Amino acid sequence: MRQTWRWFGPRDLVSIDDMMQAGVEGVVSALHHVPTGAVWTGDEVKKRQAEIGRMKDGNPSGLKWEVVESLPVSEDIKKQKGSWREHIANYKTSLRVLRDAGIEVICYNFMPVLDWTRTDLAWRLPNGATCMRFDLNDFAAFDIHILSRPGAVENYPPEVVEDAKRRFEAMDDAARQALARNVVFGLPGAAEHFTLEDVRGHLAEYAAISEERLRSHLIDFLGEVTPVAQDLGLRLCCHPDDPPFSLLGLPRVMSTEADYRKVMEAVDLPANGITLCTGSLGARPDNDLPGMMDRLGDRVHFLHLRNVQRQSGDIMGSFYEAEHLGGGTDMVAMIAAVLREESRRRTAGRSDCSIPFRPDHGQDILDDLGRKAQPGYPAIGRLKGLAELRGIMTALQHPVEGIHP
């Protein structure tokens, strides 16, 4: 398992020096400032590689950009409207640029409108740490009363609708604005940020797009770009929906093992693969994460290891970002499944027998609380998670005689 770390570029408050001290082996990054649908140029890719390759004092870091997260898929491609064919052509060109730069793993997602959704970006835990949280009732208050989406009340149980109304009425204008900002929060330096009117416009266009149609658009996209990636020796890996259930009445097509199987079978090439995110998929109680790794592992090209604590047994429910060894996913069983897959790959002689992973979404602890880095991406919280994951990896790879994990 290859230890990597997500870096958002020069504006990231967690620096290259920080990740070096964390002991990571490679870097996960993207050109967030390039508009979605545009070509990633060789000059921009080389600039980011150079930034990763230097410490603050100018000395070489020894780190390399190993995984792209993400090369984004435009809304035009997802909807098959407007400039979608041009955007697919540009995507292929960007893949060639990345191949020429020596980067082989490209993560993307196919979530409509919003890449991920939380209602609170700094929810306080009893120990004083903060984390990201999705509260279903708060989200319903946003959907029904702030966004004012037609038909929204039909998507929630009556008790949620009632409580959402009470919560909305208790909020002042500042609280309502803060909730709306949290829901449509973007990545630092991103070229695109949605307003509520933007979201309403996208929702209107998705009204005629069913789950089956969105999946067919994903398969059409992959049918175009995967053969190119295969010929170039690249590995594409689709991130799951986050959270893995429908929001805002939008279709979801990468939320379960069955969803992944349909897409892997439809475009049956090794380059068509999976970003297995234990946090996103773990927000559903019916997803068996170690089992998915065992059954679909040959297509897993990238791993996000994090944990969430579900606060109900419902498919659509509240959850918060737990410690890496807390929450609902058995991380020991998960890493054991990853190591089994890597062993199978070594036996088969595959060159990708060390699967890159990153410690995803840490809690803000200690000095993180004053640094105010990108929500979910603190320095110390992620370092704690990485240390815990390393401990599991070491224990499973070097078991003590007579003790069976």
Catalytic residue set: 239, 277, 304, 360-361, 377
Q: Are 106 and 43 in contact (CB under 8 A)?
A: no
Those residues whose C-beta lies under 8 Å from the C-beta of residue 181, and which sit 6 or more positions away, are none
Q: Are 148 and 332 in contact (CB under 8 A)?
A: no
DSSP 142-154: IIIIIS--TTGGG
Instruction: Report d(CA 18, CA 184) in Å as an integer.
Output: 28
Q: In the beta sheet, which residues pair with residue 3? A: 357
Q: Are 329 and 303 in contact (CB under 8 A)?
A: no
Tokens of 14: 């967690």
The C-alpha angle 113, 119, 122, rounded to 5 degrees, equals 125
Instruction: Report d(CA 173, CA 312) in Å as an integer.
Output: 29
Q: 193-200: list long-range contacts, CB under 8 Å, 24+ apart.
A: 194/113, 194/114, 196/146, 196/147, 199/113, 199/114, 199/147, 199/248, 200/147, 200/149
Q: Are 226 and 99 in contact (CB under 8 A)?
A: no
Instruction: Report d(CA 154, CA 144) in Å as an integer.
Output: 10
